[in-house]
Amino acid sequence: MSVKIINKKDYILVELQTIEYWEIMEALGRLFKMPEYLEKNTIWVSSAERLNLSYDHLYKIRDVISEHFPKNSKRGSKTAIVAKTGLLEGIADSYAKIVKNLPFEAGVFSDLQSVEDWIIEK
């Protein structure tokens, strides 16, 4: 498996080897099996320089995530994407806008320290 998922104290860290639709779907499938996923913050990072993900894929990802949240879920958790390139930042910003009605807050950051500060803020 190319996806590494680490359950940390304050968040779940998802490390992708590539930025591809099917790798993201693999990660989501594994996350959905974790009982704490719906309530715990999630950080997605990748050191990949290439992107194999279309704008349409972002909507498909949103729909799959939406199916796994209970209908009356409260907002509470955060999902952060560490975007190290301009292209990934653009896609991540688009994703954050697409998922704004889901029961979590999404943010895009350029480094892990900024994400951790956002995740653990009170």
* pLDDT for position 69: 77
Could you please state the CATH topology (level 3) that the domain comprising 4-120 is classified under: Transcription Regulator spoIIAA (3.30.750)
Side by side, which strands form the sheet with 41-46?
4-7, 11-16, 41-46, 77-82, 104-109
List, for residues 70-91, the tens digit of each pLDDT value. Answer: 666 665 689 999 988 888 888 9
The pLDDT of residue 74: 62
pTM above 0.85, yes or no: yes
Q: Where are the domains of the chain?
A: 4-120
Q: Give the pLDDT confidence of 19-75 residue by residue, as tens digits.
A: 899 999 999 999 999 988 877 899 999 877 778 899 999 999 999 998 887 666 665
Residue 77 carries which side chain, given as an amino acid letter?
S
Residues 21/54, Cβ–Cβ less than 8 Å: yes
For residues 83 and 89, is the Cβ–Cβ distance under 8 A?
Answer: yes
The answer, yes or no, to whether residue 12 has pLDDT greater than 90, is yes
Q: How far apart are CA 117 and CA 96, in angstroms?
A: 18
